């Protein structure tokens, strides 16, 4: 999801870049060496990850191999090449027991194996490389790939009612807005390395998000009618992985130190609908 969005943004800015997919396995040092051979690389952006949050409970070794060891491979490669590495982690590294947005220096305490694997990646990154940018993001969605907004749209089209949890709070991150900020960072050749939090502004529950998605889906003609939405507690939808109940991230440092633009989640959600409409018109 994020990788395609970034590639689109880089292409639009005429950056000189090489994109890769599964053919470049970040778990294979040989594969990575083969990929960079003969190329002059100044920046690396890692969007590869094991992102199946619930499945990670059953296959934690696989999650750790990609999100831990894979990130270590990339970090060492960046050190070897003298390159800067941009990497993404998750709000799920936090336990989410509080009521204040998380700052960068908050102590991770993941509740899930996915969260644990992402945290291990953070540790390996910082141990292997100085020239890194680590962005913890939350509730990522975009026009590409499966995500909560696409899931809701499918449910609103196919079901007569829907139930959505209203006791998990966070902030969505619109991939296109993040991609613009990342491209700006690279364009400015920033060396303000470190850990940053980034998400759209505003703290909401999944239920709040779903309600607004339904309103806009109707406005943009993507669903024929509204369906009743019921707010339910997390206990109604038991999942393999435990999620934090409050994982709002404080993006202040990225705004102050990197000049990132942060927009409200409602503005970005509307933008998503505009961009999705354009994309579907061109298909
Ligand atoms: N989605 C969210 O809500 C969310 C929230 C917070 C943070 N993040 C973080 O944001 C980043 C981008 O997430 P995303 O949602 O864009 O992820 P995504 O759509 O799942 O994309 C990750 C890609 O990495 C590929 N991949 C898996 N193992 C690989 C390997 N060994 N070598 C190379 N590629 C491999 C995956 O391929 P397969 O699909 O074939 O496995 C997939 O194409 C990730 O670091 C994620 O942890 C995401």
Tell me, what's the pLDDT at 279? 87
Q: Is 114 a catalytic residue?
A: yes
Phi, psi dihedral angles at 249 (to 5 degrees): -105, 145
**Contact criterion met (CB below 8 Å) for 265 and 171:** yes
Query: Beta strands 229-232 and 173-174: pairing type?
Result: unpaired
Q: How far is the CA of 49 from the centre of ligand 1 (A)?
A: 4
Distance 50 CA to ligand 1 centre (A): 5
pLDDT digits (tens, 9 = 90+) for 5-64: 999 999 999 999 999 999 999 999 999 999 999 999 999 999 999 999 999 999 999 999
Chain-wide mean pLDDT for the chain?
Answer: 97
Catalytic option among 50, 92, 114, 141: 114
Give 180 Cα–ligand 1 centroid separation in angstroms.
Answer: 19
- Domain residue extents for the chain: 2-282
> Are the CB atoms for 161 and 127 separated by under 8 Å?
no
What CATH number matches the domain at 2-282, 3.50.50.60, 3.40.50.300, 3.40.50.1820, 3.40.50.720? Answer: 3.40.50.720
Using one digit for the tens of pLDDT, what is the confidence trace for 73-87? Answer: 999 999 999 999 999
Model pLDDT for residues 183-223, shown as the tens digit of each residue: 999 999 999 999 999 999 999 999 999 999 999 999 999 99
Q: How much of the chain exceeds pLDDT 70, in percent? A: 100
Q: Which residues does a 6 A CB cutoff place in the pocket of ligand 1? A: 1-3, 22, 25-27, 47-51, 66, 70, 88, 90, 118, 137-140, 145
Buried b vs exposed e over 219-254: b needs ≥16 C-beta within 10 Å? eeebbeeeeebebbeeeeeeeebbbbbbbbbbbebb
Report residue 137: phi and psi, to 5°: -125, 170
How far is the CA of 13 from the CAs of 174, 180, 183, 274, in angstroms?
19, 10, 8, 21
Q: Provide the pLDDT for residue 283.
A: 61
């Amino acid at each position: 999801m994020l990788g395609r969005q970034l590639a689109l943004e880089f292409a639009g800015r005429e950056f000189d870049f090489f994109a890769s997919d599964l053919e470049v396995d970040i778990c294979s040092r040989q594969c990575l060496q083969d990929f960079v051979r003969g190329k002059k690389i100044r920046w690396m952006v890692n969007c590869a990850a094991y992102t199946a949050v619930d499945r990670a409970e059953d296959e934690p070794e696989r999650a750790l191999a990609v999100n831990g060891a894979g990130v270590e491979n990339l970090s060492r490669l960046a050190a070897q090449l003298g390159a800067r590495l941009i990497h993404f982690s998750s709000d799920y590294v936090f336990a989410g027991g509080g009521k204040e947005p998380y700052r960068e220096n908050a102590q991770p305490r993941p509740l899930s194996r996915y969260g644990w694997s992402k945290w291990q990646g953070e540790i390996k990154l910082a141990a292997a490389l100085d020239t890194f940018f680590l962005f913890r993001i939350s509730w990522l969605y975009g026009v590409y790939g499966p995500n909560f907004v696409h899931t809701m749209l499918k449910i609103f089209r196919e079901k007569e009612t829907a139930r959505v949890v209203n006791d998990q709070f966070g902030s969505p991150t619109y991939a296109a807005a993040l991609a613009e900020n990342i491209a700006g960072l690279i364009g400015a050749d920033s060396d303000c390395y470190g850990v940053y939090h980034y998400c759209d502004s505003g703290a909401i529950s999944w239920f709040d998000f779903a309600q607004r998605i339904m309103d806009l889906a109707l406005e943009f003609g993507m669903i024929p009618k509204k369906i009743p939405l019921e707010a339910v507690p997390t206990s109604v939808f038991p999942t393999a992985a435990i999620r934090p109940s409050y994982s709002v991230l404080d993006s202040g440092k990225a705004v102050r130190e990197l000049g990132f633009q942060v927009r409200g989640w409602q503005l970005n959600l509307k933008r998503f609908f505009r961009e999705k409409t354009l994309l579907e018109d061109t298909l």
